[in-house]
Structure formats: C-alpha cells, structure tokens
Amino acid sequence: MSMSVGDAGSSMSEPNITPMIDILLVLLIIFMVIVPVTPKGLEALVPQPPKDPQHQQQNNDRTIVVQVLYRAGQAPTYKINETDVAHGDLLNQLQQIYANRAERVMFVKGDDDVNFAYIADVIDIGRAANVDHIGLMTPKIQAGQ
C-alpha cells in the first residue's frame, strides 16, 4: 500500500487492487467450469434390432410404421404396417391404434421420390393422434435390421 503526501499536509491513500483482480480471476474460472454444456442438435429415434428373436416378434406387434408410397403423377398411397389406408382415414386409424397404448411411438417411411411435404403431413397427423415420439425410417436404418 502506498501513501502519497499532498502539498497541504494531508495524506492520500490509494487502494491496492491486486487482491481484487485475483478474486475476479478466481470467480471467472469458477463460472467457466460450472457452465453446463448444452447439447446441440435434434432428438432422433432410431429403431434398434432386438437381441433375441422371440422379443422381435413381440416388438413387431407393437411397432407402427406408416409408409408413404410414391405414385408417378398422382398423390401417394399410405400404409400402416402393410395395410392400405386412405389419406382421410389416417387420423382415425392412428387414434384407434394408440387409444389403449402406453408407448406412443410411430415411424414414418417414405419412398425416395416422395415429396417431403407428404411425409411432413403424416407427421402432423401423427401429432394430432397424440403420438409422443415420431421417427423417420431411412433405407440405411432399414438395411441394418
């Protein structure tokens, strides 16, 4: 701590700021360490193959896959687990399927040539049917099964 003497005989003291800078640096390091790392990206559901074949049969009964099939020059056709369904009946069929289910998971599979607007429409219909998790199936995911 230094002291300077003024011309009127009064002393003027200057605070030592070194301890304050040390405290500031320690607080800065503490806040840098405790800042949570937020994950970036979207949640994605990927169907996993079961470990045992007996469980696969049970899992196939619970898995709902809505297919959007391409037809050249026309509106696409829709299937729920290999059963043909008209576009207007999709909401009613999905509501009936998920009425008594605790696990509300649905997968949407579209042909390569289908416009994504049709797939987005099926996702919206699934949300309207109170489906909690909707995943997209791609050829790469399907080949892994």
Q: Do 64 and 106 belong to one domain?
A: yes
132 Cβ contact list (under 8 Å, min separation 6):
104, 105
| 118 found inside a domain | yes
| 133 found inside a domain | yes
**pLDDT on residue 26:** 93
Q: Do 77 and 12 belong to one domain?
A: no
Q: Do 76 and 14 belong to one domain?
A: no
Q: Do 23 and 84 belong to one domain?
A: no
Domain count, the chain: 2
Q: Do 64 and 132 belong to one domain?
A: yes
Q: In the sheet where 105-110 sits, what is the strand order? A: 83-85, 77-80, 64-69, 105-110, 133-137
Q: How far apart are CA 134 and CA 119, in angstroms?
A: 11
Q: Do 86 and 133 belong to one domain?
A: yes
Q: Do 99 and 29 belong to one domain?
A: no
Count CB atoms within 10 A of the CB of residue 69: 15
**pLDDT on residue 138:** 73
Residue type at 15 in one-letter notation: P
Q: Do 18 and 75 belong to one domain?
A: no
125 Cβ contact list (under 8 Å, min separation 6):
90, 91, 94
| 44 found inside a domain | no
Domain span at residue 30?
3-34
Q: Do 30 and 59 belong to one domain?
A: no
Q: Do 137 and 94 belong to one domain?
A: yes
CA–CA distances in Å: residue 26 to residues 1, 16, 22, 109: 22, 17, 6, 53
For the chain of 145 residues, list the mean pLDDT of each consecutive stretch of 10.
56 80 91 73 68 55 83 87 88 88 87 87 90 81 54
Contact yes or no for 99/55 (Cβ under 8 A) = no
Q: Do 99 and 65 belong to one domain?
A: yes
Q: How far apart are CA 35 and CA 29, in angstroms?
A: 10
Q: Do 97 and 137 belong to one domain?
A: yes
Q: How far apart are CA 73 and CA 91, in angstroms?
A: 24
pTM of the model: 0.56
Report the CATH number that the domain containing residue 89 is assigned in CATH: 3.30.420.270
**pLDDT on residue 25:** 93
